[in-house]
């Protein structure tokens, strides 16, 4: 089945599955996978979005407070907060267009890992149903539609960490109700207590069967926090700022996300299936940041209030998708559908602020952005050893911007794009199969930048991807996949450190190699390993005011290694161990400045008593590595440096990994 089949289980579990049992829907790529609930149940993690690290080569970090969207890296991308990787939860798109903090902003802090039934990931732009932000790939996370038990779970740890979660499922009327209520607080290891406060809830009602059914889901999430942003390494080295210190004690933010969604699936006749999703989301964010401290000159800041700025975003997002599957013959299957999305952004903007209060509002706009995509693909099983998928997607995006500060600065624009897709599968030959993939994808750019009269930024920036892959069962319990890829982008979205946002840049090319191994010799033990290496460059040398900067895309991930193991014994013992190596990254176009590499080890162990009580211990950064989550290179200046007449200084700015942290869990299952 496809990743968008809301009402049916995947017929093939890509990780650890038998390659012989493949049908028309499975001629996709070696870089496609399904992660089931059992594979994440005992996976140690610091933050909810780290579930995405089950995707081979994906790195999830953070450069600010826990309530802000995470930073993602994959396939040579510094994805910032999600610029070229599309995320969906129960059919709802999570990436935000024309967002106050950055294009494609993907906040997954509302995820509740205990409710996740599966994550289906597809790397690359090879799939007709994948739209905006999907050049590097997509991940579709689905919550369970039924749960047999109830659980109350209390987790407590260092730095005033506390999490209370109640979740489970009950029969209701003719269907099943799944629920979860979560409260979490955390101060973190920072000298400035984070004061992270999260409230989260999910209600999901499902009825029907695999042929005819539906799910209705309500979610509500709120959070507020004080953040410790990245700090210059020169100050840490000289001892004037602690490694976990802050240069602005009033940065942070608050956010909410309320949503209603529905999934409906039905068999319209013997050969036609319909899958559909509909959703409405109320979202808001207010975020205060200060990356460069006091770098503005006296004319810009005569009262010496500093460089803090506050970004805000208030919107209503609604949309849906209809997806049809039609069996044409024993050889061919037709899939076609369409999706529509409207972002009604009431107010999005930014202004200089002091202690989170804006005193100089320099951008404020109302934006209406409407996207419509229609697509089709033909899945063909030509012989027992050869299958293909040929697809086409037509995408239109319409934007209208009303500038609230300058009535002449707004405008509208419309662009369309036709994207072909092709996937070929050869095999399986015994237990090995080979894939060739080609596809064109895209990401949209911020509507506010597109409509500016002086701007040359396109509304849609396209990409072209190529992939060669192999997947093999080396033995009954060992699965190997090897993938070589290349991806060309018309316009690269690059993170700008001193502005804490992204901006479109020139065309780029990235290419790399990924190797994944999955080993499960017995039911109770799983071992997996992933290695990813990539190289990312601009297609032309970057030049600024006549100075040649270089060819490298700053902050692009080059090397990732991850390995993990988990056990789940019949006697009640369970546990997990994860190692991740995040290689050094070039921080400038010239490649002369690099970040340091980082490595982390997370572990947990627990025991389930027959009474329904379970006890667990989780250790984050078990080796207590003093590495950094993220590093940027840009200019900054402290107040004392400004008072001494020192100009802003180029420096590495880092956000440290959290030190070794212990968390204990007590749960009762009934």
**For position 64, what pLDDT does the model report?**
87
Quick one: pLDDT band at residue 502, thresholds 50, 70, 90? low
**For position 544, what pLDDT does the model report?**
78
Quick one: pLDDT band at residue 185, thresholds 50, 70, 90? very high
Question: Could you identify the residue written with the tokens 């899945």?
Answer: 379
Distance (Å, rounded) from C-alpha 71 to C-alpha 437?
28
428 upstream amide cis, omega within 30 of 0: yes
- Percent of the chain with pLDDT strictly greater than 90: 84
Q: Over 80: is that where the pLDDT of 354 sits?
A: yes
Quick one: pLDDT band at residue 22, thresholds 50, 70, 90? very low
Three-state DSSP class for residue 247: coil
Three-state DSSP class for residue 248: coil
Cβ atoms of 170 and 206 within 8 Å: the answer is no
Q: Over 60: is that where the pLDDT of 501 sits?
A: no
Chain center to CA of 566: 24
**252: nearest Cα among 64, 62, 501:** 64
**155: nearest Cα among 606, 571, 625, 573:** 606
Quick one: pLDDT band at residue 221, thresholds 50, 70, 90? very high
Question: What pLDDT digit, counting tens, does each position of 278-293 carry?
Answer: 999 999 999 999 999 9
Quick one: pLDDT band at residue 246, thresholds 50, 70, 90? very high
Average pLDDT value for residue range 585-600: 94
**For position 546, what pLDDT does the model report?**
76
**198: nearest Cα among 167, 230, 229, 161:** 161
Residue 289 has a CB neighbour count (10 Å cut-off) of 27
Question: What pLDDT digit, counting tens, does each position of 48-72 carry?
Answer: 999 999 999 999 999 888 999 999 9
Q: In whole angstroms, how large is the CA radius of gyration of the chain? A: 24
Three-state DSSP class for residue 291: coil
Average pLDDT taken over every residue of the chain: 92
Question: What pLDDT digit, counting tens, does each position of 28-40 carry?
Answer: 899 999 999 988 9
What is the reported pTM?
A: 0.93
**For position 11, what pLDDT does the model report?**
33
**For position 495, what pLDDT does the model report?**
52
Quick one: pLDDT band at residue 548, thresholds 50, 70, 90? confident
Q: Over 50: is that where the pLDDT of 7 sits?
A: no
**For position 417, what pLDDT does the model report?**
98
Average pLDDT value for residue range 243-252: 96
Residue 522 has a CB neighbour count (10 Å cut-off) of 8
State the pairing for strand pair 628-636/649-656. antiparallel
Average pLDDT value for residue range 207-231: 95
Cβ atoms of 396 and 371 within 8 Å: the answer is yes
Distance (Å, rounded) from C-alpha 410 to C-alpha 355?
30
**For position 26, what pLDDT does the model report?**
57
**For position 4, what pLDDT does the model report?**
37
Distance (Å, rounded) from C-alpha 632 to C-alpha 109?
23
Question: Six-digit token pair at 179?
Answer: 């629920």
Q: Over 50: is that where the pLDDT of 12 sits?
A: no
- Taking the CA atoms of residue 356, residue 107, residue 258 and residue 367 in that order, the dihedral angle to the nearest 10 degrees is 70
Question: Which comes out higher in pLDDT, residue 530 or 449?
Answer: 530
Minimum mean pLDDT range among 21-25, 412-416, 525-529, 632-636: 21-25
**For position 211, what pLDDT does the model report?**
87
Quick one: pLDDT band at residue 408, thresholds 50, 70, 90? confident
Classify residue 596 by its DSSP letter.
Answer: P
Question: Six-digit token pair at 212?
Answer: 């005819």
Distance (Å, rounded) from C-alpha 520 to C-alpha 527?
6
Question: What pLDDT digit, counting tens, does each position of 124-150 carry?
Answer: 999 999 999 999 999 999 999 999 999
Average pLDDT value for residue range 94-98: 97
Chain center to CA of 535: 21
Quick one: pLDDT band at residue 503, thresholds 50, 70, 90? low
Q: Supply φ then ψ for residue 582, to 5 degrees.
A: -115, 110
Q: Which residues contact 515 (CB under 8 A, 6 or more apart)?
A: 480, 481, 482, 483, 530, 531, 532
**For position 29, what pLDDT does the model report?**
94
Cβ atoms of 539 and 506 within 8 Å: the answer is yes
Q: Over 80: is that where the pLDDT of 441 sits?
A: yes
């Amino acid at each position: 089945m496809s990743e968008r089949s809301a009402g049916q289980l995947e017929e093939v579990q890509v990780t650890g599955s038998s390659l012989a049992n493949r049908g028309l829907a499975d001629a996709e790529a070696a870089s496609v996978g399904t992660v089931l609930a059992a594979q994440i149940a005992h996976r140690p993690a610091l933050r909810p979005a780290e579930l995405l690290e089950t995707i081979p080569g994906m790195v999830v970090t953070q450069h600010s407070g826990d309530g802000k969207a995470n930073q993602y890296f994959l396939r040579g991308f510094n994805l910032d907060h999600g610029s070229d990787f599309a995320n969906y939860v129960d059919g709802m798109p999570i990436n935000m267009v024309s967002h106050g903090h950055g294009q494609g902003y993907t906040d997954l802090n509302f995820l509740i890992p205990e409710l996740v039934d599966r994550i289906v990931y597809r790397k690359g732009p090879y799939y007709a149903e994948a739209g905006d932000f999907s050049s590097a790939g997509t991940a579709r996370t689905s919550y369970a539609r039924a749960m047999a038990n109830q659980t109350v779970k209390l987790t407590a740890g260092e730095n005033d960490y506390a999490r209370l979660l109640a979740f489970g499922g009950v029969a209701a009327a003719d269907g099943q109700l799944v629920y979860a209520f979560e409260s979490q607080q955390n101060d973190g290891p920072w000298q400035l207590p984070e004061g992270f406060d999260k409230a989260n809830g999910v209600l999901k009602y499902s009825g029907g069967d695999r042929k005819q059914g539906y799910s209705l889901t309500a979610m509500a999430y709120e959070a507020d926090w004080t953040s410790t942003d990245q700090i210059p390494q020169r100050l840490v080295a000289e001892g004037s700022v602690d490694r976990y210190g802050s240069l602005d004690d009033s940065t942070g933010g608050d956010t909410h996300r309320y949503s209603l969604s529905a999934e409906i699936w039905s068999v319209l006749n013997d050969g036609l299936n319909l899958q559909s999703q509909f959703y409405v989301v109320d979202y808001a964010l207010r975020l205060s940041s200060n990356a460069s401290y006091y770098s503005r000159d006296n004319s810009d800041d005569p009262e010496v209030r500093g460089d803090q700025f506050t970004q805000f975003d208030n919107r209503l997002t609604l949309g849906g998708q209809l997806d049809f599957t039609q069996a044409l013959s024993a050889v061919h299957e037709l899939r076609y559908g369409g999706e529509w999305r409207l972002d009604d952004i009431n107010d999005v903007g930014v202004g200089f602020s002091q202690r989170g209060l804006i005193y100089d509002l320099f951008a404020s706009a109302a934006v209406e952005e409407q996207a419509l995509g229609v697509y089709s693909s033909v899945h063909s099983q030509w012989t027992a050893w050869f299958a293909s998928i040929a697809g086409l997607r037509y995408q239109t995006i319409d934007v209208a911007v009303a500038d609230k500060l300058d009535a002449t600065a707004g405008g509208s624009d419309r662009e369309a794009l036709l994207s072909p897709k092709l996937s070929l599968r050869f095999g399986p030959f015994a237990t090995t199969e080979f894939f060739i993939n080609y596809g064109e994808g895209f990401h949209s750019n911020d509507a506010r930048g597109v409509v500016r009269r002086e701007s040359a930024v396109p509304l849609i920036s396209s990409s072209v991807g190529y992939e060669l892959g192999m997947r093999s069962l080396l033995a009954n319990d060992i699965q190997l996949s090897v993938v070589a890829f290349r991806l060309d982008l018309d316009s690269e979205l690059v993170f700008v450190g001193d502005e804490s946002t992204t901006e479109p840049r020139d065309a780029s090319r990235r290419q790399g190699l990924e190797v994944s191994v999955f080993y499960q010799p017995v039911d109770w033990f799983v071992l997996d390993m992933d290695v990813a290496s990539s190289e990312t460059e601009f297609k032309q040398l970057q030049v600024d005011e006549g100075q040649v900067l270089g060819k490298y895309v700053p902050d692009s991930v080059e090397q990732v290694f991850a390995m993990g193991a988990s056990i789940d014994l019949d006697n009640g013992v369970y546990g997990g161990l994860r190692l991740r190596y995040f290689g050094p990254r070039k921080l400038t176009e010239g490649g002369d400045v690099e970040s340091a590499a980082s490595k982390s080890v997370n572990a947990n162990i627990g025991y389930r008593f027959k009474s329904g009580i379970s006890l667990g211990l989780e250790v984050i950064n078990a080796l207590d590595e003093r590495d950094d989550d993220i590093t940027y290179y840009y200019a900054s200046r402290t107040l004392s440096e400004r008072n001494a007449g020192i100009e802003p200084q180029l420096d590495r700015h880092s956000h440290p990994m959290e030190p070794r942290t212990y968390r204990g869990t007590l749960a009762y299952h009934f």
